[in-house]
C-alpha cells in the first residue's frame, strides 16, 4: 500500500468539512421526515397524561378495533407464510415451464394501489357486484364485513414471505435435501429437519414484514370495511374515524400502539439482518 | 418417464405448485381479471367519459406531478443518505440505518395524521413555514411531503448495497490517473450506482402514484386541486358508482403494470452491470 501517496489518499476521501456537511444534511433530512412524525405521534398521545391515553385505548370501540386487527393477523400471516414456503419450494427445488412468469406474477400485488385492491373485491362481492346477488340470497356478507377485510389484506401482503424465500432457497439448492432423502428420511422429515433450519431467518424476516403491512393496511380496507363502529373498523380505520371526529388525543393514543409495533418491527428486522450477516461471514 | 424421475428425487412438487397456483389464481389473478371484465360491460363512450372527466384529469396531473417531485427529492437525498451510511462513521449510525425503514413499517394512516399535525399552520413545522407565507397542509405541497415520506426507503435501500460493494480500487485508479474527487464521483461512482438509483426512483414513484393513507389527511381533498386519483376511486366506490370507480381503477392498474415493466427492465440492467 506504500504506493498510495498522501495526494491520492486525499483524492479518494472527502475533506472533513465536506464529510461533516454531508452527514449533517443527511441527518437533517431524516430528522425532518422520520423523527418528527414519530415525535408528534407520541407527544399527541401522552400530552394529556397517561390516564387519558389509557382511557382512549380501553374504549370499547378501540378494543374492538384491536381485536379485529389481531384476528386479521392470526389468519393472514400464517396463510401467506404457508403460501410463501410452498411456492418457494416449487420454484427453488424443481424445473418447470412458466417458472419465470410465475416469479414475475408474485411481484404484481406490490404494484397495485391499495384502493384498487379494495375496489376489485367490492366489484366481485359487493351488493351490485358479480357475486353480490348470490351472496345476498345465501345470507352471506363479504363486503362491509370481516371476510372482505381479511381477503383484501391477504391480497396486499401476499408476496412478502415468498419474495424472501425464493432467492434464498434457490441459492441453497437441493443437495442437502437429496442427501437426507438418500439416507432414508421421508419428505416431511427432510423439510422439517433440513430445509426449515436453513430458511428460518428468511422466513422470520418475511413474516415480520408481512405482519407489519397487514396491521397497517388502510386504503384497501377503507374501501371494503364500511366503517361500522365496533364491528368492521381495524386499528388504522379507527384512527381515521377518531381524527375526523376531532378526537385528536384518542387518535394519537391508538396511533401510539401501532407506532410501538412499527418500532418493534424495525428492531426485529435489524436483528434478523444482523444474524443473517454473521451467518454469511462465518460460512 | 425415467427422465422425469431423474430430474428430481425431492417430493412435494405437485402439491406445492398446485397450491401456489390455485392460491395466486383465486386471490389475485381472477379478481384482477374480474375488474377488467367489469369495465368491458361499459360502453366505450361511458368509459371515456369516466376517465376523462376534468376532475379526474386534475387528479392524474396532481398524482403524477407530486409523485415525480417526491421521487426526485428521494433520488437526491436517498443517494446522499446511502452514501453517508456506507462511507462515513458517526455515532448512532446503526439506529439511523434501521430508522430508514420506518415509512415502510409505520401504518400509513398514522403517518397521515402525524404529517398533517406537523405541517398545519399551527404545527411544529407548519407554523414557521406559514410565517414565510408557505401553506403546506391542505395544499399541493402537502401531497408532495406525504409522497416523499412514503418513498424514502426505496432509493436508500437500492443504492446502499451497490455503494457498499463498490471497489475502492476503482476510485484509487481514477485518482492516481489524475482525476479530481469530483470527477471520480461523477465519472466513476455515479455510473456504477445509476441502474440501482433509477430502480429506486421508479419504485418510489410507483408506490407514490397508488398511495392513499398518508396523503388524504394532509391534502385536504379539495376538488380539482388537492384530490389524488386513489381518493376519487374511494369516493366513487362509496357513492356506489362502481362503473366510474372501475374505469379509473383500470387506468391505475395499467399505469402500475407499465411501471412494473420499467422497474423489471431496470433491475435486469442493474444485474447485468453488477
Q: pLDDT tens digits, residue range B43-82? A: 999 999 999 999 999 999 999 999 999 999 999 999 999 9
CA dihedral angle for residue B7, residue B9, residue B14, residue B15, rounded to 10 degrees: -150
How many domains would you assign to chain B?
Answer: 1
pLDDT given for residue B85 in this prediction: 96
ipTM rounded to 2 decimals: 0.92
Distance (Å) from the alpha carbon of A69 to chain B's nearest alpha carbon: 12
Probe site for chain A from B3, B110, B122, B125 (most A CB atoms < 10 A) = B110
The Cα–Cα gap between B274 and B258 comes to 24
Does B51 fall in a domain?
yes
State the best of B10, B154, B183, B260 to mutate against chain A, taking most chain A CBs within 10 Å. Answer: B10
Mean of the pLDDT values across residues B164-192?
Answer: 85
Residue A280's CB: how many other CB atoms inside 10 A?
A: 8
In the prediction, which pLDDT does A153 show? Answer: 97
Provide the pLDDT for residue A276: 75
Q: How far apart are CA B140 and CA B123, in angstroms?
A: 17
State mean pLDDT over B187-197: 90
B29 and A CB contact within 8 Å: yes
How much is the pLDDT for A6?
47
Cα B139 to Cα B147: distance, rounded to the nearest angstrom:
13
Q: Do B210 and A115 touch (CB under 8 A)?
A: yes
- What does the pLDDT read at residue B124? 96
Find, among A270, A265, A281, A252, the residue nearest to A52 by Cα: A252
Is the entire prediction scored with pTM above 0.90? yes
Q: What is the DSSP letter of B227?
A: -
Could you please state the CATH topology (level 3) that the domain comprising A49-282 is classified under. Answer: MetI-like fold (1.10.3720)
Contact B172 A93 (CB under 8 A): no
**How far apart (Å, rounded) are the C-alpha atoms in residues B204 and B151?**
4
- Closest by Cα among A169, A211, A204 to A276: A204
Which chain B residues have a beta carbon less than 8 Å from that of A218? 107-109, 212-213
Average pLDDT over residues B229-242: 94
- Select from B19, B33, B105 the residue whose CB has the most chain A CBs within 10 Å, as the one to mutate to test that interface: B105
> Percentage of residues in chain B with pLDDT exceeding 90?
80
pLDDT grade for B185, boundaries at 50, 70 and 90: confident
Q: What average pLDDT does the segment B116-134 reach?
A: 95
Nearest Cα of chain B lies from the Cα of A187 at a distance, in angstroms, of: 6
Report the pLDDT value the prediction gives residue A281, as an integer from 0 to 100: 47
**Cβ <8 Å between A123 and B209:** no
- pLDDT number for residue A208: 95
Give the pLDDT score at B180: 83
DSSP characters for B142-191? HHHHHHHHHHHHHHHHHHHHHHHHS-HHHHHHHHHTT--HHHHIIIIIHH
Q: Where are the domains of chain A?
A: 1-46, 49-282
Question: Beta-carbon neighbour count of residue B189 at 10 Å?
Answer: 17
Per-residue CA distances from A230 to A60, A67, A190, B26 (Å): 7, 10, 46, 29
* Alpha carbon distance A127, A142 (integer Å): 10
Rounded to whole angstroms, how far apart are CA atoms A104 and A106? 5
Residue B142 pLDDT greater than 70, yes or no: yes
Percentage, residues of chain B above pLDDT 70: 96
Q: What is the CATH number of the domain that holds B120?
A: 1.10.3720.10
- Taking CB atoms and an 8 Å limit, are B80 and A108 in contact across chains? no
Cβ distance B31 to A120 less than 8 Å, yes or no, reads yes
User: B214: buried, middle or exposed (CB in 10 Å: 19+, 13-18, 0-12)?
Assistant: buried
Q: How far apart are CA B253 and CA A123, in angstroms?
A: 15
Show residues of chain A in contact with B94, CB under 8 Å: 270
Residue B7's pLDDT band (boundaries 50, 70, 90)? low
pLDDT number for residue A9 = 56
- Report the pLDDT value the prediction gives residue A283, as an integer from 0 to 100: 39
Count CB neighbours of B158 within 10 A: 26
Task: Examine residue B178 and state whether it is found in any structural domain, yes or no.
Answer: yes
Confidence class for position B32, pLDDT limits 50, 70, 90 = very high
In a domain, B125, yes or no: yes
Tell me which residue of A240, A80, A208 sits closest to A151, measured CA to CA: A80
Q: Do B108 and A216 form a contact (C-beta atoms < 8 A)?
A: yes
Angstrom distance (rounded) from CA A149 to CA A83: 19
B200 part of a folded domain: yes
Helix B190-210, helix B242-273: angle, nearest 10 = 170
Which 8-state DSSP code applies to residue B139? S
Partner A contacted by B113 (CB < 8 A): yes
- For residue B1, the model assigns a pLDDT of 38
Low-confidence ranges of chain A (pLDDT < 50): 1-8, 281-283
What mean pLDDT value characterizes chain B? Answer: 92
What pLDDT score does B172 carry? 84
Q: Is the CB of residue B20 less than 8 Å from the CB of residue B227?
A: no
d(Cα B257, Cα B184) in Å, to the nearest integer? 37
Q: Tell me the pLDDT band of B4, cut-offs 50, 70 and 90.
A: very low
pLDDT at A10: 56
Q: Cα(A240)–Cα(A62) distance, rounded to whole angstroms? A: 12
Residues of A in contact with B257 (CB under 8 A): 108, 111
What residue numbers bound the domain in which B72 lies? 44-273
pLDDT tier at B5 (50, 70, 90 boundaries)?
Answer: very low
Q: Is the CB of B11 inside 8 Å of chain A's CB atoms?
A: yes
CB-neighbour burial class of residue B243 (10 A; exposed 0-12, middle 13-18, buried 19+): buried
Residue B8 lies in a domain: no
In eight-state DSSP terms, residue B9 is: -
pLDDT of residue A214: 97
b or e along B49-61 (b: 16 or more beta carbons within 10 Å of the residue's beta carbon)? ebbeeeebebbbe
User: How far is C-alpha B102 from the geometric centre of its chain's CA atoms?
Assistant: 15
SS3 B138: coil
Report the length, in residues, of chain A.
283
Chain B closest CA to A280's CA: distance in Å?
A: 15
In a domain, B9, yes or no: no
Amino acid at each position: 500500500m506504500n504506493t498510495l501517496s498522501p495526494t491520492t489518499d486525499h483524492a479518494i476521501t472527502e475533506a472533513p468539512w465536506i464529510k461533516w456537511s454531508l452527514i449533517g444534511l443527511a441527518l437533517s433530512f431524516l430528522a425532518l421526515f422520520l423523527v418528527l412524525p414519530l415525535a408528534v405521534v407520541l407527544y399527541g398521545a401522552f400530552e394529556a397524561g397517561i390516564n387519558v391515553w389509557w382511557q382512549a385505548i380501553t374504549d370499547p370501540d378501540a378494543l374492538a378495533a384491536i381485536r379485529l386487527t389481531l384476528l386479521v393477523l392470526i389468519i393472514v400471516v400464517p396463510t401467506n407464510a404457508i403460501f410463501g414456503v410452498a411456492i418457494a419450494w416449487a420454484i427453488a427445488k424443481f424445473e418447470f415451464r412458466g417458472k419465470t412468469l410465475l416469479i414475475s406474477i408474485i411481484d404484481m400485488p406490490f404494484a397495485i394501489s391499495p384502493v384498487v385492491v379494495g375496489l376489485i373485491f367490492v366489484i366481485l362481492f359487493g351488493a351490485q357486484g358479480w357475486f353480490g346477488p348470490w351472496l345476498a340470497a345465501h345470507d352471506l356478507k363479504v363486503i362491509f364485513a370481516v371476510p372482505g377485510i381479511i381477503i383484501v389484506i391477504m391480497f396486499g401482503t401476499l408476496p412478502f414471505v415468498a419474495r424472501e424465500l425464493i432467492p434464498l432457497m434457490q441459492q441453497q439448492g437441493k443437495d442437502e435435501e437429496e442427501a437426507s432423502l438418500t439416507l432414508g428420511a421421508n419428505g416431511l422429515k427432510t423439510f422439517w429437519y433440513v430445509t426449515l433450519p436453513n430458511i428460518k431467518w428468511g422466513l422470520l424476516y418475511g413474516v415480520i414484514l408481512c405482519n407489519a403491512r397487514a396491521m397497517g393496511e388502510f386504503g384497501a380496507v377503507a374501501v371494503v370495511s364500511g366503517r361500522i363502529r365496533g364491528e368492521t373498523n381495524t386499528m388504522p380505520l379507527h384512527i381515521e374515524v377518531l381524527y375526523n371526529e376531532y378526537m385528536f388525543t384518542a387518535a394519537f393514543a391508538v396511533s401510539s400502539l401501532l407506532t410501538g409495533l412499527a418500532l418493534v418491527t424495525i428492531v426485529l428486522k435489524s436483528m434478523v439482518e444482523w444474524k443473517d450477516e454473521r451467518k454469511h461471514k462465518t460460512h | 418417464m425415467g427422465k422425469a424421475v431423474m430430474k428430481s428425487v425431492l417430493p412435494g412438487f405437485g402439491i406445492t405448485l398446485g397450491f401456489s397456483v390455485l392460491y395466486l389464481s383465486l386471490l389475485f389473478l381472477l379478481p384482477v381479471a374480474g375488474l377488467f371484465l367489469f369495465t368491458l360491460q361499459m360502453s366505450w363512450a361511458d368509459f371515456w367519459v369516466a376517465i376523462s372527466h376534468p376532475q379526474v384529469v386534475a387528479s392524474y396531473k396532481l398524482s403524477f406531478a407530486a409523485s415525480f417531485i417526491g421521487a426526485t427529492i428521494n433520488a437526491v437525498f436517498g443517494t446522499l443518505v446511502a452514501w453517508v451510511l456506507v462511507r462515513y462513521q458517526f455515532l448512532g449510525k446503526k439506529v439511523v440505518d434501521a430508522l430508514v425503514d420506518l415509512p415502510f413499517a409505520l401504518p400509513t394512516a398514522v403517518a397521515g395524521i402525524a404529517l398533517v399535525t406537523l405541517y398545519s399552520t399551527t404545527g411544529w413545522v407548519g407554523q414557521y413555514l406559514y410565517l414565510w407565507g408557505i401553506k403546506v397542509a391542505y395544499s399541493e405541497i402537502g401531497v408532495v411531503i406525504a409522497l416523499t415520506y412514503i418513498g424514502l426507503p426505496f432509493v436508500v435501500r437500492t443504492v446502499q448495497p451497490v455503494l457498499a460493494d463498490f471497489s475502492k480500487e476503482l476510485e484509487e485508479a481514477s485518482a492516481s490517473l489524475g482525476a479530481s474527487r469530483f470527477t471520480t464521483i461523477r465519472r466513476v461512482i455515479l455510473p456504477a450506482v445509476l441502474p440501482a438509483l433509477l430502480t429506486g426512483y421508479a419504485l418510489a414513484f410507483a408506490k407514490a402514484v397508488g398511495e392513499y393513507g398518508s396523503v388524504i389527511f394532509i391534502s385536504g381533498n379539495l376538488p380539482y386541486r388537492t384530490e389524488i386519483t386513489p381518493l376519487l376511486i374511494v369516493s366513487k366506490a362509496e357513492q356506489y358508482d362502481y362503473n366510474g370507480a372501475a374505469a379509473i381503477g383500470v387506468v391505475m392498474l395499467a399505469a402500475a403494470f407499465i411501471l412494473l415493466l420499467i422497474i423489471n427492465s431496470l433491475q435486469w440492467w442493474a444485474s447485468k452491470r453488477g
